[in-house]
Amino acid sequence: MSATENNLPSHATDGASHTPEHEPMKMLLVEDSTLLREVLFETINNLNNVSVTGTAATRRKAINLLDEAAFDILLLDIELAEGTGFEVIQHIQKADYPFKQPILIMLTNHAHPHYRNLAKALGVHYFFDKSMDFDLAIEAIELEANRFSSASH
């Protein structure tokens, strides 16, 4: 019996032990701190409707990943091991960027007004201070993931 004959979506019989009814929101996590990247990876992957499908510690790696695949949401630090999160954002805003613009979230230790204003000018949707707003950043990711899930039904 095929998947359509038993009224299941075609992907429901792919043999996976846990298959959601829809694809989760795909996140690129751009953070140079190994420890924080691991904590964020674990925390975000434990949320519903979102999956970290790529990680980068440098501008170059982030841009390479962004040129290879579409992401629904980017979580970026400002200061990276090489380059900045702002340079990553500027890359995806180029006219020849082949994918839909993702939701942009900055989580940084550099929450100075100058950086907030620059982030706003570049179209960043959320800007959080790592030391004070970590939980708010996770809540914003969860909110966007739930919106994404609702929109895909």
Helix/strand/coil (H/E/C) assignment for every residue in 75-124: EECCECCCCEHHHHHHHHCCCCCCCCCCEEEEEECCCCHHHHHHHHHCCC
Band (pLDDT 50/70/90 cuts) for residue 3 is very low
Mean pLDDT, rounded, of the chain: 88
* More confident site: 22 or 43: 43
Locus of tokens 């095929």: 2
- For the cut 70, the answer to whether the pLDDT of residue 40 exceeds it is yes
Locus of tokens 């970590």: 134
- Name the β-bridge partners of 74: 28, 104
- For the cut 50, the answer to whether the pLDDT of residue 15 exceeds it is no
C-alpha 142/C-alpha 104 separation (Å) is: 14
119, 127 Cβ separation under 8 angstroms: yes
Mean pLDDT across 103-124: 97
pLDDT at 152: 77
- Cα angle, residue 80 at apex, residues 60 and 33 outer, rounded to 5°: 120
pLDDT at 1: 42
pLDDT at 21: 62
Q: Quote the longest CA-to-CA distance of the chain.
A: 61
C-alpha 28/C-alpha 65 separation (Å) is: 8
pLDDT digits (tens, 9 = 90+) for 57-110: 999 999 999 999 999 999 999 999 999 999 999 999 999 999 999 999 999 999
This prediction has a pTM of 0.85
Q: Which of the residue ranges 17-21, 43-47, 78-82, 87-91 would you say has the lowest mean pLDDT?
A: 17-21
